Amino acid sequence: MPHEVQTDYNNCHAVHSDTTVARMLVGNKCDLEHIRAVSVEEGKSLAESEGLFFMETSALDSTNIRTAFEMVIREIYNNVSRKVLNSDSYKAELSVNRNGRSISVD
């Protein structure tokens, strides 16, 4: 894998490491096979080793553009939902509601 790709990935990962961040490795311009810098296998390998989704796209012919956005949105929703369900405030609210009381916060 080209050094620049690995460096860009490492920089992005260091900045965006919150648990609600959806991370996906996208190979762009898959329609330009003849000038490919990174093979599909290299992309898949990096994605797998880092626990990322991997997809190749092409803005020129719209290959996988919608699918890539839908995957990211779904992952963000799942991550945020998981974070809310594991939060102390949500657990406290469940505990109060199980005891037959409700609390109104203004």
Bridge partners of residue 26, in order along the sequence: 55
pLDDT computed for residue 106 by the predictor: 46
pLDDT digits (tens), the chain, 106 positions: 555 666 665 666 566 566 667 788 888 888 888 888 888 899 899 889 888 889 999 989 899 999 999 998 998 888 888 877 777 776 666 565 555 555 555 4
Residues 6+ apart with CB under 8 A from 82: 19
Ramachandran quadrant class, 11 (left: phi over 0; alpha: psi -120 to 50; beta: rest)? alpha
Please count the structural domains in the chain: 1
> Which sign, positive or negative, has the C-alpha torsion 16, 17, 23, 27?
positive
CATH number of the domain bearing residue 22: 3.40.50.300
Alpha carbons 86 and 79: distance in angstroms, whole number: 11
SS3 of residue 24 by DSSP: strand
Whether 103 maps to a domain, the answer reads no
**Residue 105: inside a domain, yes or no?**
no
Residue 106 lies in a domain: no
Instruction: Tell me what pLDDT residue 35 has.
Output: 86
In this prediction, residue 8 carries a pLDDT of 65
